[in-house]
Amino acid sequence: MTGRTFPEQFVWGTATASYQIEGAVREDGRGPSIWDTFSHTPGRTYNGDTGDVACDHYHRWRDDVQLMRDLGVNAYRFSVAWPRVRPNGGGAINSAGLDFYDRLVDALLAARITPFVTLYHWDLPQALQDRGGWAHRDTAEMFVEYADIVTRRLGDRVKHWITHNEPWVASLIGHFEGIHAPGLRDLRVALQAAHHLLLSHGMAASALRSNSTHCRVGITLNLTPVKPASDSQADIEAAQRYDGFHNRWFLDPVFGRGYPEDVQAFYGNMMPEMQPGDAAAIAAPIDFLGINYYFPTIVRAARDATPVACETLTTDEYAAAGYTTTAMGWPVDAGALLELLTRIQNDYAPPAIYITENGAAFDDQLVNGEVHDTQRIAYLSDHLGAARDALDVGVPLWGYFAWSLMDNFEWSFGYSKRFGIVYTDYATQQRIPKASARWYQQVVGGGGI
């Protein structure tokens, strides 16, 4: 097929996150994180699963770099675990923790794989949670210190930095819906946490730039195109509110517009406390926007007391509406990715965009040592097609990271959901490339689909 190749300098990667793959939670001086606490609290995760061992990547990282070398990817997005670097959040620095990432970065560079490092992918040191966590302004200050420490050590070699992964999830799912650590259910606290996450992003940017010369700084947001369930005025307004709640609440301040007024009006006295200068700090210039895209959201008006008075379709309703759904119950819609990318380009015009996560969980079966995950190949292929279409219409899309390199600890779903292009046999820690890994290898090798 013509026109399906990607620019030569396109970044092809896979992505992971520290707590989801590393294990070794008590080794070499690592302190506990809120996800250790949460996953060890009965009833919080599927089957009581924890990240204690996960993919044992902390010990198997050399093999995992080799796995990526075999895949032929030219980039790897991973996160640094704050509690390995500073076990108590603040105070003493644990050099053994930094050493781990130092070695990993060197091995990646030797394999010609560019590291994209996320500083915060949700594993806040528990000691900071004990003092109020992200709802407490000090945590933003501590994040800047942590970012400074990490970039002093790695900033000579790592040139792509992502401050935060999905602050919407970290704040709203963690502090309002209570499904993620720290498991709170309070909208006011959640919005305060969101504000401090955003603030810490902007405040850290200058430390990153001075410690890591000529680096590129970005933030990763999980964005979803929102559609009304019907053409009723109530549903159309609900969709606008949901878009504000989920997307614009984070996009607008990062791109210098402050919090969207329509949503502020809705939140009323739930609005977070802010200080003069916060809006400007959050709007520190970025070099790229990271977008995690999984699914679109269809919304209808609701009378119940959800934060923005709307509800999203259930998985059954998506299926009834004709969508394929994944093992997560998420609707599949590659076309919505094109809509999302063009909308972001039109409304915010970031200098560059990377798709920092995209992928799907399906009920993979290991049969005779092989996993024929044709649904995942279709998902990835269709979404890469949409990404290619976005390039055609002028979206500055610079790269794509498949979520995930390998099956891993899927947060409250534990090990029950498999997103990897490589199958993780948790009993033996064997990594078994799925058919999708072979397919991705060809895509990457050929520079297109």
The residue ranges that bind ligand FCB (CB under 6 A) are 17, 20, 165-166, 169, 222, 292, 357, 403, 410-411, 419
Q: Shortest Cβ distance from residue 236 to ligand FCB (Å)?
A: 27
Q: Shortest Cβ distance from residue 20 to ligand FCB (Å)?
A: 6
The verdict on whether 370 is a catalytic residue reads: no
The verdict on whether 166 is a catalytic residue reads: yes
Nearer to ligand FCB, 253 or 420 (CB): 420
Alpha-carbon span 303 to 233, nearest angstrom: 14
Nearer to ligand FCB, 211 or 375 (CB): 375
Annotated catalytic residue: which of 27, 141, 145, 166?
Answer: 166
Residue 150 tokens, joined: 């990490």
Q: Shortest Cβ distance from residue 131 to ligand FCB (Å)?
A: 25
Measured in degrees and rounded to the nearest 5, phi and psi for residue 269 equal: -75, 5
Annotated catalytic residue: which of 141, 357, 370, 410?
Answer: 357
Q: Shortest Cβ distance from residue 429 to ligand FCB (Å)?
A: 20
- Contact between residue 314 and residue 243 where contact means Cβ atoms under 8 Å apart: no
Nearest-CB residue to ligand FCB? 17
Q: Shortest Cβ distance from residue 214 to ligand FCB (Å)?
A: 27
Nearer to ligand FCB, 165 or 211 (CB): 165
- DSSP assignments along 129-169, one per residue: HTTTGGGSHHHHHHHHHHHHHHHHHHTTT--EEEEEE-HHI
In angstroms, the Cα distances linking 111 to 75, 104, 107, 246, 430 are: 10, 11, 6, 38, 21
H helix or E strand, kind and range, residue 58:
helix 57-71
Q: Shortest Cβ distance from residue 447 to ligand FCB (Å)?
A: 26
CA 121 to chain centre: 7
Nearer to ligand FCB, 129 or 165 (CB): 165
Stated length of the chain: 449
Neighbours of 152 (CB within 10 A): 15
325 by DSSP, 3-state: which? strand
Nearer to ligand FCB, 301 or 371 (CB): 371
Vertex 133: Cα angle to 129 and 134 (nearest 5): 155
Nearer to ligand FCB, 17 or 117 (CB): 17
Torsion of CA 377, 379, 380, 382, to 10 degrees: 110
Which residues are known catalytic residues?
A: 166, 357
